[in-house]
């Protein structure tokens, strides 16, 4: 089977969709499928740390004038700086950074759904060439960004190929600008009607979409959750250990509106524990003020994906904060599961789907995102750590890998695509 994947976000970008499709595409290629990827030609980032399977062919296309110019101004790629840093005072961004953010903010409102749609005419030209040169069996659009959906609509209109949409997030989402919610809802309905199959990461999102858009069949949807690498990465040369301390690690990004660490920071202040050290990896320095006055907190900034996995493996406890939207859950929870480490999860809402995933998992602690229950959970965790009772058994870890590894997700996707093409 020959698959064409439309994926603006693809390594060396390490956004959630880029990583998701890197693992899924490699899993398909390992099963003998030929995967062609129409993706971004990005020159401002260092090469990805892991090579793709030989069965994957990349077709990179210039991003367009704005992003292209931004890459040129960024200059040659530099190695990522993984050195740990303690909390530092906030530094005002340069005038160039402010100008870039202002221009992007403006263009995000001029182009629909955002500035990345400038890629469309250049990608569509290459897309037409690929369709003439190869006999594809199926086309997949990875969302987001929305430009992948626009390209998929063009394929659906001009060919008879089955079109699959991987809708990690709904188009009509609470964090989208309010003024255009009507347009997002219309476009979302159009995509759902036109696609031959829609892949979601949670079953709850399917229910939300079916309530939002009438006359959609449940058979149109399939659920393939986020996953975890089948082997835990090891990175040499990094000194992230902190002997004699309970090492809590968070990897990912905080958000004020729906994944906020404020209550966790208050719990640490309330606890005033001498035993804990907290390491935060991700673009989170703007939240540093919440942790002022708390000892042993370090922000690493953005960390390479594989270094991030290795950091998780060095932790005693992995911190996860649920989203306030019940139809979304942070995909890193699956990465956490296969490490065998204890997991502290803070509920994002009363309907947080993460709780169902963790309910039968050893050494998982699920509490409300409020300072007092968090503080009580941390006291319990410290006691277990002191007694050597933190972590999962080897058998439990292997079961979780078999259930949530990317190999299992790729196998499910292969079955879905084979059935769709046969039909």
DSSP per residue, 26-47:
HHHHHTT-EEEEEEE---SSPP
* CA pair distance 313, 336, nearest whole angstrom: 9
Using N-to-C axis directions, what is the helix angle for 16-30 and 406-422, rounded to 10°?
70
Give the model's pLDDT for residue 275: 87
Q: Please name the residue that has the structure tokens 């890629």.
A: 119
Q: Do 262 and 58 contact (CB within 8 A), yes or no?
A: no
Same fold: 2-80+94-227+405-422 with 246-403:
yes
Q: Please name the residue that has the structure tokens 């993460």.
A: 354
* CA pair distance 278, 165, nearest whole angstrom: 38
Using N-to-C axis directions, what is the helix angle for 181-194 and 147-158, rounded to 10°?
40
* CA pair distance 292, 360, nearest whole angstrom: 36
Q: Please name the residue that has the structure tokens 């084979």.
A: 418
Q: Give the burial class of 36: count Cβ atoms within 10 A of its Cβ; 0-12 exposed, 13-18 middle, 19 or more buried.
A: buried
- Kindly list the domain boundaries of the chain, sorted by start residue: 2-80+94-227+405-422, 246-403
Q: Which residues pair with 366 in a beta bridge?
A: 345
Check whether domain 246-403 has CATH 3.40.50.2000, yes or no: yes
The CATH number of 2-80+94-227+405-422 is 3.40.50.2000
How much is the pTM? 0.89
pLDDT in tens, the chain (423 residues): 999 999 999 999 988 999 999 999 999 999 999 999 999 998 888 888 788 999 999 999 999 999 998 888 877 554 444 334 444 444 455 777 788 888 888 888 888 999 999 999 999 999 999 999 999 999 999 998 999 999 999 999 999 999 999 998 888 877 777 888 899 999 999 999 999 999 999 888 999 999 999 889 999 999 999 999 987 655 554 666 677 899 999 999 999 888 999 999 999 998 877 889 999 999 999 999 999 989 899 999 988 888 899 999 989 999 999 988 777 788 899 999 999 999 999 998 888 888 889 988 889 999 999 999 999 999 999 999 999 999 888 888 899 999 999 999 999 999 999 999 887
Give the model's pLDDT for residue 86: 45
Q: Which residues pair with 280 in a beta bridge?
A: 250, 299
């Amino acid at each position: 089977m020959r698959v064409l994947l439309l994926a603006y976000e693809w390594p060396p970008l390490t956004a959630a969709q880029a990583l998701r499709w890197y693992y899924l595409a490699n899993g398909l290629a390992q099963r003998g499928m030929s995967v062609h990827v129409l993706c971004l030609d990005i020159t401002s980032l260092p090469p990805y740390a892991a090579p793709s399977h030989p069965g994957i062919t990349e077709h990179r296309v210039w991003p367009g004038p704005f992003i292209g110019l931004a890459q040129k101004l960024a200059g040659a790629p530099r190695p990522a700086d993984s050195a740990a840093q303690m909390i530092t005072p906030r530094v005002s961004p340069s005038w160039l950074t402010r100008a870039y953010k202002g221009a992007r903010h403006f263009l995000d409102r001029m182009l629909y759904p955002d500035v990345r749609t400038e890629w469309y005419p250049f990608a569509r030209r290459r897309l037409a060439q690929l369709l003439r040169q190869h006999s594809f069996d199926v086309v997949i659009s990875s969302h987001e960004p929305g430009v992948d959906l626009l390209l998929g609509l063009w394929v659906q209109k001009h060919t008879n190929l089955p079109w699959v949409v991987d809708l990690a997030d709904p188009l009509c989402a609470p964090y989208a600008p309010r003024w255009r919610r009507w347009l997002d809802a219309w476009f979302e309905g159009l995509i759902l009607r036109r696609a031959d199959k829609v892949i979601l990461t949670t079953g709850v999102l399917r229910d939300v979409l079916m309530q939002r858009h009438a006359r959609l069949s449940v058979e149109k949807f399939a659920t393939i959750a986020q996953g975890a690498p089948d082997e835990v990465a090891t990175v040499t040369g990094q000194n992230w250990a902190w002997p004699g301390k309970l090492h809590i690690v968070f990897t990912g990004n905080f958000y004020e509106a729906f994944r906020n660490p404020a209550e966790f920071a208050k719990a640490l202040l309330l606890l005033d524990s001498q035993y804990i050290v907290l390491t935060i990896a991700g673009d989170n320095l703007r939240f540093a003020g919440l942790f002022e006055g708390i000892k042993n907190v370090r922000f690493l900034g953005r960390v390479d994906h594989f270094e991030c996995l290795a950091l998780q493996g060095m932790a005693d406890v992995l911190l996860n904060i649920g989203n306030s939207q019940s139809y979304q859950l942070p995909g890193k929870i699956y990465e956490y599961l296969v490490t065998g480490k204890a997991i502290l999860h803070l509920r994002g809402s009363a309907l947080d789907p993460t709780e169902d995933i963790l309910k039968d998992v050893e050494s998982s602690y699920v509490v409300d995102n409020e300072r007092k229950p968090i503080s009580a959970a941390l006291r319990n965790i410290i006691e277990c750590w002191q007694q050597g009772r933190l972590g999962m058994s080897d058998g439990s870890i292997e079961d979780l890998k078999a259930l949530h590894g990317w190999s299992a997700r790729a196998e499910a996707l292969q079955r879905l695509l084979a059935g769709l093409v046969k039909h």
